Amino acid sequence: MDMFNLRGQTAVISGAARGLGLAFAEALASAGCDVAVVDILQEPSAALYELQSRFNIKVKYYRLDITVRDDVIRTITTIIQDFGTINININAAGVVTDEPFLTTSDQNLRRTFGVNVTGSFLVAQACANAMVDRYKSHHGEEPARGATTGSIIFIASIATYIASTAQQISCYTASKAAIKGLVKPVAMELSRYGIRVNSLSPGYTMTDMMKGLQDEQPKLVKQFEKETLFGRIGLPEELKGAILWLSSPKASGWYTGQDLLLDGGATSWKHPAVLDE
């Protein structure tokens, strides 16, 4: 549909070398959007580069530690030079460590908040400045009146809605709550430039990380399955429609400052079972 046509636009996606971020990249690529991916991995999944020929778009990968401000600014500047513009920013980079609150380490705190909060903040800030510069070049300092300059999407989590007995991830949950806390004030500040800011909170999803858990802790994944109303883990492709809707100015142009929860109903009921000891 024309409503979801993103041809000629560019998305900067963090954490899309694999996993859920890669699924987001594929969703936008299928709509004709050019994709710039930033990630800490030396090389991304081959599937990322395949998007270029599959959908006739431009794809580039930039190795980046998103917790370092100067490196983030330098990389975003390079992306603007390579692509000409930034219209969409999806902050999908994230880490999680299962560790009891009473013994949560300084290393866990630093790494989790560094990547999930500081990294997302820095990438979004740099992309937002690029969007604002483009807006000012066309409209000056006049507040937006119907103009849609860009969309910034943070990836939060079901964990901020309901605590699961299956994992001890207070550090991760706090970091995702911080991400959700960014949405409303940043949406308010950037609205004058026509920039929409939202977050997406996925439920339990069969990412590469979840597949690893399935091998290492099968009881844990079975508990996740019990907690959804459909009795199964969500699939990455089931989040594609949501991320495409949030990215499209024609589809969700009046939606900003919100969190979109997509959890298979897991937060809708009192779960009947807990993880076996």
Question: Tell me, what CATH number does 142's domain have?
Answer: 3.40.50.720
Q: What pLDDT score does 10 carry?
A: 98
Q: How far is residue 216's CA from residue 219's CA, in Å, rounded to a whole number? A: 9
Q: What radius of gyration, in Å, describes the C-alpha atoms of the chain?
A: 18
**Would residue 178 count as lying in a domain?**
yes
Residue 41 domain-assigned? yes
Residue 223 counted as domain residue: no
* Angle at the Cα of 52 from the Cα atoms of 39 and 157, rounded to 5 degrees: 40
Flag whether 266 is in a domain: no
- For residue 186, being part of any structural domain is answered with yes
What tokens appear for 129 in the block?
């400045």
Average pLDDT, consecutive stretches of 10 residues, N- to C-terminus, the chain (277 residues):
90 95 97 98 95 98 98 98 98 95 98 98 98 92 83 97 90 98 98 97 86 79 89 93 97 96 94 64
CA 208/CA 185 separation, integer angstroms: 33
pLDDT at 272: 73
pTM, two decimals, is 0.95
In this prediction, residue 274 carries a pLDDT of 63
Q: What total number of domains does the chain contain?
A: 1
pLDDT at residue 275, as a whole number: 58
Catalytic positions: 157, 172, 176
Domain span holding position 69: 2-206+237-261
Does 253 map to a domain? yes
Residue 103 within any structural domain of the chain: yes
269 found inside a domain: no
